[in-house]
Amino acid sequence: MTRPVRVLISKIGLDGHDRGAKLIVRNLRDAGMEVIYTGLWQTPASTVQAAVQEDVDVVGVSLLSAAHMTIMPEVQRLCREAGIGDTPVIVGGIIPEQDQQPLRDMGLGGVFNPGTPMSTIIDAIRGLAEQRRAELEAAEDKPDINTATGLARAITWAVEGRRAALGTLPQSGPGTVRIGVTGSPGVGKSTFIGKLARALRERGRRIAVIAVDPTSPITGGSVLGDRLRMMGPQPDDGLFVRSLSSGGLAGGLAPYCADVAGLMMAAGYEILLIETVGAGQNDTAVRDVAAEVLLLLMPAAGDTVQFSKAGVLEIATGFVVNKADLPGSDQTMRDLHDSLEDQRPVWPVSSLRGEGFDPLCAWIEERIANSK
């Protein structure tokens, strides 16, 4: 295959833990796959929306709730309605032997129990992915970016280096803005973006997100887990999230990120949020694809000397002190203001409490108004 297998692992239902699912995720990553993990307490609808936006090769559902005979037909129905009925669906969990054949008869690509060897699961996913890709290549239908399914497929073409095959697309016009969101690992970028996106959605804005996660330098696989902090249990047609792996690219972004950004804006999203991998001082590539860059910092993240250094602090057009509910945030705010020699804004925000987002949303909407 020209690119890694993309597989979604979703934990549907009210199971209280996901240790088994996380073990599967890590093993698939170590097998060189790109694994989109959506976390606990998902619904069939949220699972299918994630599968659509991520354009995955295989949809994997983890179930321990004994509701497999109800949930899996619903997942299949929603896949067909969303236009991805050709995407293989598999299920794993504690499934009685008498239910396994009926599930296969429904058209599931695989039914796995806790005792199934990991090698069997990996081989099955690879085989299903190869089959799906062969069918898509045989069809060669040009994607329609005005639909979620079409936009997701067009993004895949761009990632494969096939952007030219999409032809001329409408350009993003006035009234749009691209915002990079960068910061060190653990600063809370994904949670921040999720809360910011929801605050902007409440103002009626259509939001697209590119979420970049690192690629393993050893296996070439990756765990793309950012969307689990961004998406709620119910689908939102006005919020489109696509996860990309960095592919070892320096600078904090992923290959073809600019092409993906262009597709999202051409599809009519007003605000594009681009999340980098955990960034260091020299990771400034996001400035090449975003007009605005928000640098996230944590309380006690540095002092006036640290904030005066070159690199990622220079390219920021705004600063967010995230986790502002923690001790030390006031001092960090003061140090930032003291070190800045211009009028770049600084906002204290608590993503955990959902506080401080209104001024930031107003600033973004001002940027949209100025672009008209």
pLDDT value at residue 307:
60
β-bridge mates for residue 7, sequence order? 35, 58
Q: How far apart are CA 308 and CA 273, in angstroms?
A: 26
User: Sorting pLDDT into bands at 50, 70 and 90, what band is 302?
Assistant: low
Residues 301-310, mean pLDDT to the nearest whole number: 57
- Give yes or no: residues 277 and 203 share one domain: yes
Q: How far apart are CA 343 and CA 320, in angstroms?
A: 14
Which domain range does residue 62 map to? 6-140
Q: Mind giving me the DSSP string for 195-235?
A: HHHHHHHHTT--EEEEEEEPPPTTTS-EEE-GGGGT--SS-
Q: Is 90 helix (H, G, I), strand (E, B) or coil?
A: strand
157 assigned to some structural domain = no
- Give yes or no: residues 192 and 133 share one domain: no
- Give yes or no: residues 130 and 182 share one domain: no
- Give yes or no: residues 103 and 227 share one domain: no
Is residue 301 pLDDT above 70, yes or no? yes
- Give yes or no: residues 223 and 300 share one domain: yes
Which of 140, 160, 193 is a domain's end point? Answer: 140
Query: Phi and psi of 7, rounded to 5°?
Result: -130, 135
Q: At what angle do helices 44-54 and 148-159 cross, to 10 degrees?
A: 40
User: Sorting pLDDT into bands at 50, 70 and 90, what band is 337?
Assistant: confident
Between these two residues, 289 and 228, which has the higher pLDDT value? Answer: 289
How crowded is residue 175: how many other Cβ atoms within 10 Å of its Cβ?
A: 12
pLDDT cut 90: percent of the chain above it:
76
- Give yes or no: residues 132 and 187 share one domain: no
Residues 304-316, mean pLDDT to the nearest whole number: 69
**H/E element holding 61?**
strand 58-63
pLDDT in tens, 130-177: 999 999 988 878 899 999 999 999 999 999 999 999 988 877 667 899
- Give yes or no: residues 226 and 356 share one domain: yes
- Give yes or no: residues 39 and 130 share one domain: yes
Is residue 267 pLDDT above 80, yes or no? yes
Number of domains in the chain: 2
- Give yes or no: residues 244 and 364 share one domain: yes
- Give yes or no: residues 201 and 248 share one domain: yes
Question: Could you tell me the CATH number of the domain that includes residue 326?
Answer: 3.40.50.300
pLDDT value at residue 304:
47
pLDDT in tens, 71-118: 999 999 999 999 999 999 999 998 999 999 999 999 999 999 989 999
DSSP secondary structure letter of residue 276: P
Average pLDDT over the chain, rounded to an integer: 92
Residues 282-293, mean pLDDT to the nearest whole number: 93
156 assigned to some structural domain = no
Q: 11-20, 48-57, 121-130, 190-199: lowest mean pLDDT where?
A: 11-20
pTM, to two decimals: 0.95
